[in-house]
């Protein structure tokens, strides 16, 4: 089988413009590969600036369009059918591969993604007069941010116990405080561009989130079905920790809605 020379794409990362302008890459036929600012890889838009803004804009637009289709197509606004449609057709788009593109340090992008669910739940019967926090409780929903962080914690658990390939995480087990994942040290001598990429990477965010959950959860391991047991216990405690995404004019006691800050404030868990 031969490679299709027309499908080669070149994506350059970094700020070394001299290197970019003095080097070229050839495709299978010897032609020069044209440089792109972004490209799609397994459904994820990868951008040369190291950010996932373009991808997030795309999924928000697709999720919004699908929400509009649901409301145009179905007459009912009852919670059960509306939530079934939402989880199958809208939420699945916002969840796909989220540990990779999770905008951990961008309140603007977090709010933009959250706006899809905020607008959808507002139109469900019985939600009149309830703010977004109360709608989440009434519908027994996690915020989109809480779902992303939950997925990341679950994936780190699977890496620790060899259920999925390890992407470079290191961890240690303390007899008193349980399993801890090593948080990579940030190199403050790097450019802000490189530092920001590291701070938003799974290998940095994953350990920070995993270490923030109580040790009683981190120590759980069931030989029969470890992932399901861990997920069940994690959900049990997450439903008791306030889920308070940003609402204009309303303040929360924790400094952010991330489980890092919510656990620190409400559970005094080690972080």
Digit-coded pLDDT (tens) for 4-45? 878 888 888 877 878 888 888 888 888 888 888 888 889 999
Give the span between the Cα atoms of 65 and 91, in whole angstroms.
12
**Residue 267: its pLDDT value, please?**
64
Binned at pLDDT 50, 70 and 90, residue 237 comes out as very high
The share of the chain scoring above pLDDT 70, in percent, equals 98
Q: Is the pTM of this model over 0.85?
A: yes
Q: Is 149 exposed, middle or buried (0-12, 13-18, 19+ CB in 10 A)?
A: buried
**Residue 269: its pLDDT value, please?**
42
- pLDDT average, residue stretch 36-57: 90
User: 51 and 38 in contact (C-beta within 8 Å)?
Assistant: no
Nearest to 89, CA basis, from 97, 98, 81:
81
Domain locations in the chain? 5-36, 53-141, 147-266
User: 79 and 124 in contact (C-beta within 8 Å)?
Assistant: yes
* Signed CA dihedral, 10, 15, 20, 21: sign only: positive
Average pLDDT of the chain, as a whole number: 90
Binned at pLDDT 50, 70 and 90, residue 151 comes out as very high
Give the span between the Cα atoms of 175 and 82, in whole angstroms.
47
- pLDDT average, residue stretch 248-271: 79
- pLDDT average, residue stretch 129-150: 95
**Residue 174: its pLDDT value, please?**
83
Binned at pLDDT 50, 70 and 90, residue 99 comes out as very high
Digit-coded pLDDT (tens) for 193-218? 788 888 889 999 999 999 999 888 88
Q: Is the pLDDT of residue 74 over 80?
A: yes
Q: What angle do CA 35, 42, 116 make, to 5 degrees?
A: 105
- pLDDT average, residue stretch 245-268: 85
Query: In sequence order, what are the beta bridge partners of 173?
Result: 179
Q: Is the pLDDT of residue 152 over 50?
A: yes
Whole-Å CA distances, 169 to 155, 161, 269: 11, 12, 22
User: 156 and 181 in contact (C-beta within 8 Å)?
Assistant: yes
């Amino acid at each position: 089988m031969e490679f299709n020379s027309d499908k080669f794409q070149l994506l350059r990362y970094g700020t070394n413009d001299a290197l970019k302008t003095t080097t070229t890459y050839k495709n299978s036929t010897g032609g020069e590969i044209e440089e792109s600012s972004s490209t799609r890889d397994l459904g994820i838009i990868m951008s040369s600036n190291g950010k996932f803004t373009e991808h997030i804009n795309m999924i928000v637009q697709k999720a919004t369009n699908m929400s509009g289709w649901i409301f145009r197509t179905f007459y009912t606004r009852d919670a059960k059918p509306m939530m079934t449609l939402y989880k199958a057709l809208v939420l699945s788009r916002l969840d796909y591969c989220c540990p990779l593109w999770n905008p951990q340090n961008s309140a603007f992008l977090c709010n933009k993604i959250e706006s899809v669910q905020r607008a959808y739940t507002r139109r469900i019967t019985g939600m009149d007069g309830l703010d977004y926090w109360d709608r989440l409780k009434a519908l027994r929903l996690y915020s989109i941010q809480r779902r992303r962080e939950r997925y990341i914690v679950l994936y780190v658990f699977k890496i620790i116990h060899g259920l999925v390939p390890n992407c470079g995480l290191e961890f240690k087990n303390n007899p008193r405080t349980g399993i801890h994942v090593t948080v990579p040290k940030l190199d403050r001598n790097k450019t802000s561009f490189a530092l920001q990429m590291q701070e938003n990477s799974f290998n940095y965010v994953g350990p920070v989130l995993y270490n923030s959950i109580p040790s009683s959860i981190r120590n759980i391991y069931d030989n029969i079905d470890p992932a399901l047991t861990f997920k069940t216990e994690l959900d049990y405690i997450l439903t008791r920790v306030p889920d308070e995404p940003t609402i204009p004019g309303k303040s929360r006691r924790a400094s952010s809605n991330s489980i890092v800050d919510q656990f620190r404030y409400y559970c005094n868990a080690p972080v």
